[in-house]
Amino acid sequence: MKLRDKAGQVRAGQKLGLEMEMVAVRRGSGASHAVRAYPASLARLRAARGETMALGVLAGRVVSARGALADSGLDNGFNLLESALRPVAGGPGGLDRLAAAVHAELRDVQDALAQEDAAILNAGEHPAASLDPARYAALRVPRPLYEDIVGHRGWLHRVGIDAKAQNSPCTSMPVRDAARAVNVVMALAPAFIALFANSPLECGRPTGRKDNRATLWERMFRHARYASDLRLHRMPDRPFEDLGDYFRWMFEGDTHSCSLPLAAASGYKRDATVHLDGDPSLSRFLRAPSWPGRRADNGARVMLTPRAAHFTYAQFFNFLDARWRYRLAGDCPVEELLAHWGQPGGIEALHERLGVDGYIEGRAPSALFPDRQLRREAGDDVAMTAPLAPSAMQLGLLRNLAQAESLVREYGWLTLRGLRATAIEAALDDGLAYRLAADTLAVAEAGLADADRRWLAYARCALDTRCTGADRLLSLWQAAHGDAASRLAAIYPERVLSLPS
């Protein structure tokens, strides 16, 4: 596989992954469904084929099934499924391999859900589920993190309990180009939002937006305890110069550290963490000998000693449309981390030495799947590319990084920042958003090998017809009659996940 360019440098997309979120509904009615046995059912299905599976349990409930294909489980609620596919090798045939994994996962998810009379709805959020506090309390997955962000930071986490679902392409990236890649995918997010819009309804009513799901972060952080939490989901005033700049934006100034783990190796969604007294920035904490705080789970007083691992742990703590995610094979003293952080390109150099495995996580596309309506209108070949098209588009942009950067400069950084709201409202109905989508798709196509361009078929179809998943869903909703439950039942046969035999 050709994974290096002509100069011998490692290319983008050595590995390709995908995190799919899926709206669970009751079969027939389309009503929002809280799964009961889904992860365990999926594990049994795969174990019967000889796969080794591991179940993840929180507060006595099974919330995930981990195997060779994916970590398949739940996102924020029992009505929102999440499948984090294991990365596949990139290079020639990489998108084909990812597609095979996606389609295998979707078939297994479909079969496991059928055991509790449930299915997946092709939507970026449930069209008619409630956002009320009682429903949120009943549906929320019991992760310690959620107690922290709601009770301590004051986030309106329940605004996502109606199964707001995204499709997150994960494209490996050489660390030397990581900041450039974040800039490009973040700045061109309006193109992804417009092409893959799929959430025009909320609480049983049209919202007036084509991709209402993308308003989630603004609403969640609007009344947060710290103003910086709201700022950290918004595209900054200028591009990041390097990873040091990216992490200063996240971790310095008026920012306030997330709660930090007690254990040396920790997962941010499951392990015991510490609230630092006075809520300092992560930068201030790392520069101190130790810091007092209290455990988030039981309130016990502790003194936490800074480690470089705390820096790595906190990487998830922004909600931009593109993030740099990474693991390190080695560790270093916190003093060495801080010294490199203060140098241009220092984080990149340190992470290369420590053995970094990193990728760009694109967070702008709505969840989108083949259904009967799409298969009828566009054909099976196009419909089956719908979950893969964002991955192909992101890979093409990152393989064509210099031209993608030229496109960002042509439109202008601040113009693109403002265009995000326009894409949420109007998608491809807006002239400038449509032109950006066309230009972005052209740059992505130029970055892909001929054999890989077929995975952009859904995006090309949406552009050519100027019809998104949101437009198709609205047409069904408006043609139906009666209350929200009646309309849901009417659209269900057309919008339930539908895979060719």
Torsion (CA) 325, 327, 330, 336 in degrees, nearest 10: 20
Q: What is the pLDDT of residue 4?
A: 56
Residue 428 CA to residue 405 CA, distance in Å, equals 22
254: in domain: no
DSSP 395-433: HHHHHTHHHHHHHHHHH-HHHHHHHHHHHHHHGGGSHHH
User: Using CA atoms, how far apart are residues 370 and 464, in angstroms rounded to an integer?
Assistant: 18
pLDDT at 5: 56
Segments in the chain below pLDDT 50? 1, 268
Cα dihedral 273, 275, 280, 285 sign: negative
Domain membership flag for residue 313: no
| 476: in domain | yes
Query: What's the Cα-to-Cα distance from 224 to each of 155, 157, 179, 459, rounded to whole Å?
Result: 5, 10, 28, 36
Quote the pTM value. 0.96
CB 366 within 8 A of CB 166: yes
429 part of a folded domain: yes
Residue 318 to residue 79: CA distance in whole angstroms: 24
Q: Which domain holds residue 362?
A: 15-141+184-211+355-495
**Domains contained in the chain, number:** 1
Strand-pair category, 201-202 with 260-261: unpaired
**Of all helices (H) and strands (E), which one includes residue 292?**
strand 291-295
Tell me the DSSP string of 130-158.
---HHHHHHHB---HHHHIIIIIT---GG
35-45: per-residue pLDDT in tens?
999 999 999 99
What single letter denotes the amino acid at residue 137? A
- Predicted pLDDT of residue 403: 98
The CATH code of the domain that includes 486 is 3.30.590.20
pLDDT (0 to 100) of residue 25: 98
Backbone angles phi, psi at 215, to 5 degrees: -85, 0
**CA 112 → CA 57, 65, 141, 164, 398, distances in Å?**
18, 12, 19, 21, 35
Identify the pLDDT of residue 265. Answer: 54
Dihedrals phi, psi of 226, to nearest 5 degrees: -115, 130
Domain contains 251 = no
Which residues does residue 260 pair with via DSSP β-bridges, in sequence order?
A: 274
| Residues 6 or more apart in contact with residue 186 via CB below 8 angstroms | 235, 320, 321, 322
Asked if residue 294 is part of any domain, the answer here is no
The reply to whether 84 falls in a domain is yes
Angstrom CA distances, 396 to 449, 479, 491, stand at 9, 38, 34
Residue 288 lies in a domain: no
pLDDT at residue 198, as a whole number: 98
Interval 121-135: pLDDT, tens = 999 999 999 999 999
Q: What is the pLDDT of residue 148?
A: 87
Distance CA 335, CA 292 (A): 20
